[in-house]
Amino acid sequence: MGGLGNNFCNLPSTSSEMTCGSFLSQQQRTFIQMRTVLKVVDNSGAKKVMCIQALKGKKGARLGDTIIASVKEAMPNGKVKKGKVVYGVVVRAAMQRGRCDGSEVKFDDNAVVLVDKQGQPIGTRVFGPVPHELRQKKHVKILTLAGHIA
Amino acid sequence: MVLKTELCRFSGAKICPGKGIGFVRSDSQVFLFANSKCKRYFHNRLKPSKLTWTAMYRKQHKKDIAAEAVKKRRRTTKKPYSRSIVGATLEIIQKKRTEKPEVRDAAREAALREIKERIKKTKDEKKAKKAELLNRNSLIPDLHHLEYRLLNRECADKIST
């Protein structure tokens, strides 16, 4: 089913804002920058946040970096409400990140865990896989809450 | 410290440390690809079992399996386990096991012979007894006849009265 005849759809596009969900697309994944919408994978109450600013990094945030985000979509009764400005740690990024042994990892989506200014997570549970890189960035608390460490 | 060489999830090739691309799916499943060719095919949803050069295809179409099968058969030989049971202690079991076949045959034959002799003896005894009885009867043949006549007379008396 993957070998359909319309191969012209397979041209690599370098735009990071392309939200095309077609399975034939091979996007060039890039950094998490302003206006990137990320999924929230903890139980702090928010569902989707939009990145306002990537702390550290001229081009944008990568896996394991902290960002400032604004909550776009939230659960009705949660600790965080819509419109609030929060900090977050990127735990899953579609852009590949080089590991120290030379290999690269990439995830399926962009996801974030909300933290406070000191770096402690606001929620009490983390869903889905998280990478090893968080240990180096001293986000040990998130690692302990995580269900699966990739 | 040697890093482990992984196997490519798509093609089955070995991934040396420092090479390859890892992909973590949202359901926490980790896929390792040897190169971008495998990765590309995986994302394009091609099946490795349909591509001739992958390990999965070769396994499915049973290429090169004859050599492996021959090797594997050698390992399944059970060792005889020696333990004493209620009926026979370990020494008796071992003695029986180490008995040579000739000894066993000789013992069997001896047992059979014994049985045969016993049967013969009983048969002979029976014959002898029978012969004795016949002899006794033949010596006094009239006794039998006399008894018969006595019986008849008794019956006649009874009928007449």
Chain A touched by B30 (CB under 8 Å):
yes
Query: Where exactly are the structural domains of chain B?
Result: 6-68, 90-160
Chain A touched by B4 (CB under 8 Å):
no
**Exposure string over B116-131, b if 16+ CB within 10 A, otherwise e:** eeeeeeeeeeeeeeee
Domains along the sequence of chain A with CATH = 36-145 (2.40.150.20)
Residue A110 tokens, joined:
């962009």
Do B22 and A26 count as a contact with CB atoms less than 8 A apart? no
Residue A69 phi/psi, 5° resolution?
Answer: -140, 160
If you average pLDDT over residues A55-60, what whole number do you get? 88
Residue of A52, A134, A35 whose CA lies nearest to A87: A52
Helices (H), chain A: 133-136, 140-145
Q: Looking at residue A24, what is its pLDDT? A: 45
Fold of B6-68: Ribosomal Protein L24e; Chain: T; (2.30.170)
Is the pLDDT score of A10 beyond 50?
no
pLDDT in tens, chain B (161 residues): 567 888 999 999 999 888 889 999 888 889 999 989 999 999 999 999 999 999 999 988 888 777 666 666 666 667 767 677 776 777 777 777 777 788 888 888 999 999 999 999 999 999 989 888 888 877 655 666 667 677 777 767 777 76
What is the ipTM score, two decimals?
A: 0.72
Say whether pTM exceeds 0.80: no
Q: Looking at residue A57, what is its pLDDT? A: 84
Asked which of A97-101, A130-134, B75-79 is least confident by mean pLDDT, the reply is B75-79
If you average pLDDT over residues A95-103, what whole number do you get? 86
Q: Looking at residue B134, what is its pLDDT? A: 85
Residue A33 tokens, joined:
């920058």
A107 contact residues in B (CB cutoff 8 A): 23-26
Q: Can you tell me the distance from the alpha carbon of A125 to that of A44, in angstroms, rounded to the nearest whole number?
A: 8
Do B30 and A150 count as a contact with CB atoms less than 8 A apart? yes
DSSP-derived secondary structure letter, A126: B
